[in-house]
Amino acid sequence: MKWSLAAAMIDAWDLCELARVAEEVGFDSIAMPDSVFYPETVSADYPYSPDGKRMWAPETPMPDPFIAMTAMAAVTERLTFYTNVLKLPLRDPLLTAKQISTMAVMSGDRIAVGVGLSWIPEEFRFTGTEMRTRGARTDEAIQIVKAVCAGNGPEWVEFHGKHYDFDRLMISPAPDRPVPIYVGGHSEPGLRRAARLADGWISVNVGVDELTTAIARLGELRAEYGRAEEPFEINVSPTGVRDLDGYRALADIGVTECRVSPWYLYGADFTSRTARLDAIRRFADEVIAVAREEAAAH
């Protein structure tokens, strides 16, 4: 299993140091969230809290993930970086593909992209995009990004869909290895999108039972689409798992990467730079190092 550090809601000026320490102690990757802005008033409930209210304050730091990933890649050598998740339908897919391809090349192929739809009507209205077609447009946008970042270097691509349409064009630079695209979402359409179009799936923060159900369904859908034998990442953020036995159980149900915020696991003050770094080192010692020793022994 690989280990990913979830770096949400952290001050931008602390991220590069956090990345250096994460790489030093053995993490494999860092996940960055995407929040374009904080609308003062929202007309929909937040889907991941019991009362439907957002769990963060308006001034909570949410650096642009592409800029943050680029900065952290510049001060590390091994870590990979990915979005968890990029609100793809808010963005023009060609401009997004240009950014991703450049990041991939400049980082030495250490970039992946997790994508999602966004739940906030105001994000669509204020950015001049349409919420009603977000699913269909995301499907097309994924195909466009995958075509540009297919791993063949700069090449001619074209796309003719219902929502996006362009003739042959070339984006340069472009990576020599495909950029992985992961899809988030626990709904049936989200799971189908991941099984049909993506290189992996990213969960939200949920318990093991819900993860087990979703992973089993993904297996069924991948078989339905004829993709059961293709490599596929299962990246999860499990609630209620705090020890090696719990992580071993996740590996048994097919999890390939576990996303953690160690400061929450240990009750540390996540706003404290020192406490965050101490928690990262502790998790690496108590979990990552032991898990790798066990894997090497087998």
Chain position carrying tokens 């990262």: 280
Return the pLDDT at 76. 98
Please give the backbone phi and psi of residue 189, each rounded to the nearest 5 degrees, phi first.
-60, -40
d(CA 82, CA 198): 14
d(CA 146, CA 52): 34
Please give the backbone phi and psi of residue 170, each rounded to the nearest 5 degrees, phi first.
-130, 135
Q: Which residues pair with 82 in a beta bridge?
A: 31, 112
List domains and CATH numbers for the chain. 2-297 (3.20.20.30)
Return the pLDDT at 48. 86
Return the pLDDT at 270. 87
Q: Which parts of the chain are beta strand (E)?
A: 2-6, 29-32, 80-87, 111-116, 156-160, 165-170, 181-184, 200-206, 233-238, 257-260
Q: Which two tokens stand for residue 167?
A: 């003739």
Chain position carrying tokens 């001050």: 11
CA angle 18–24–26, rounded 5-degree value = 100
Q: Which residues pair with 235 in a beta bridge?
A: 202, 257
Count of CB atoms situated within 10 Å of the CB of 27: 24
Return the pLDDT at 298. 80
Q: If we measure between CA atoms, which residue out of 62, 70, 133 comes closest to residue 105?
A: 70
Q: Which two tokens stand for residue 288?
A: 């990552």
Task: Tell me the C-alpha to C-alpha distance, in Å, between residue 210 and each of 10, 141, 203.
Answer: 28, 28, 10
Point out the residues of the chain with pLDDT beneath 50. Answer: none
d(CA 266, CA 215): 27
Q: Which two tokens stand for residue 150?
A: 């297919």
Return the pLDDT at 1. 92
Give CA 254 to chain center in angstroms. Answer: 18
pTM passes above 0.85: yes
Q: Which two tokens stand for residue 248?
A: 């071993």
Average pLDDT across the chain, whole number? 97
Return the pLDDT at 275. 96
Return the pLDDT at 210. 97
